[in-house]
Each structure stands twice: as structure tokens, then as C-alpha cells.
Homo-oligomer: A and B are copies of this chain.
Amino acid sequence: MSPNRPGRPRDERVDAAILQATRVLLAEAGYAGLTVAAVAARAGIGKAAIYRRYATKQEMVFAATMHGAQVPQPPDTGSLRADLRWLAATITGMIGAPGVGGVLGGLLADMEDEAVATAMRGFAALERATIALILDRATARGELPAAPDPAFVHAVMMGAIFARLHVFGEGDREGFADDLASTVAGGLIHPAGGLPRQGDGTATPG
């Protein structure tokens, strides 16, 4: 932390080697087949160098897969539906690879629900900022009367894609992203029941 703490500093190449080896082995063997010893061997380092950085295997995997994930800036396509279409494609690109289901599942199982929630929230905030931008644009454009809760849209978009790909294992059928974008955009613009959901913009309890 402190820039001038005593002792030999951590070798940044070791950090990178750990994360890289973790990603490679996750792709090769999956989450259940991943061992810390194999990561160390692949990275050409000792196990202690890993445990000096991450207390458990789960933390290491989380760092290797989630940390530093970048959400690109959304292009302004001119319509909410097309923006959401881009978002669906982006999310699919991030979590669509085979094996990601296992990784995310393993993290879900190994960390306590509260721990994973804490860890996820940081990551989720990035995506939500992007989503908020999309929703604000649509509001400014006049498509939406008021910006909905980005967390709500996030859960729907991410959840639907994850469930289809990794829970039901149904592959990335071509029209799925289209349907999803059309349905969510349409539903946000014309919610059934006509209830004006005013003021749920930031309600995220607990």
C-alpha cells in the first residue's frame, strides 16, 4: 500500500502471471478442475506468492475473472432499443464464454452469499453506470418519461442472458439479444398496467 514500506516490494510480474495463469487454466480445466498448485506451476512461481496476495482460491479466481473488467462506453445509437441491443451483446461477450457459468457458480457456492454480494456490488456499479447513461439518454430523448432504476434493468438484462446461456444451456440463439432488447425497451416505454413508477430511481435496499 504505502509506497515506501520497508522490505522487498511485490513483483508486479508475479501479479500478472498469477492472473494470466488462472485465466488460462480456468479455460482449460474449468473452475472445479482448477488447483492453486497448477496455477503456481503454470505461472512459474511458488504457492506462497499466491497466498500472499489472496487468502483463498476463490479470491484469486475472483480477481482473475472479475477484477478490472472494463465496460466500454455505449455508442449513442439514437434509440433505447438499439442501445439495449448493444448492451445485450456486450454482456454476452463478457459472460458468454463457456466456463464462465462454472466460474460464477463456483464463486457463488464458495463465498458466503453476503461476501459475494459485497464483491459483486463493486463490479456491478461499473455496469450500472453504463446502464444509467443509456437510460438517461432515452429519457432526454423523450422515449422514457423518467429514468428507471438501473439496478432493475441490470438484473433483467444480465439475469436473462446468464440464465439462457449457463443455467438452461441453450446457446446464443441469434434472435435472443434482439428479443430481449425489444421486450425490455418496449416494457420500459409501455409498462403494462400503466402504473407510473415514479421515484424508484435509487431504491436499492440492504
B181 touches A192 (CB 8 A): yes
Query: How many copies of this chain are found per oligomer?
Result: 4
B101 touches A108 (CB 8 A): yes
Partner of A203, one of B82, B168, B183, B184: B82
Check A169–B106 contact: CB distance below 8 A: no
Give chain A's interface secondary structure class: helix
Closest B residue to A172 by beta carbon equals B205
Which residues in B have their C-beta under 8 angstroms from that of A149? 179
Residues B173 and A156 in contact, CB atoms below 8 Å apart:
no
A residues sitting closer than 8 Å to B (CB atoms) are: 30-32, 77-82, 85, 98-99, 101-110, 112-114, 116-118, 120-121, 124, 141-143, 148-149, 151-152, 154-156, 158-164, 166-171, 173, 175-176, 178-193, 195-197, 200-206
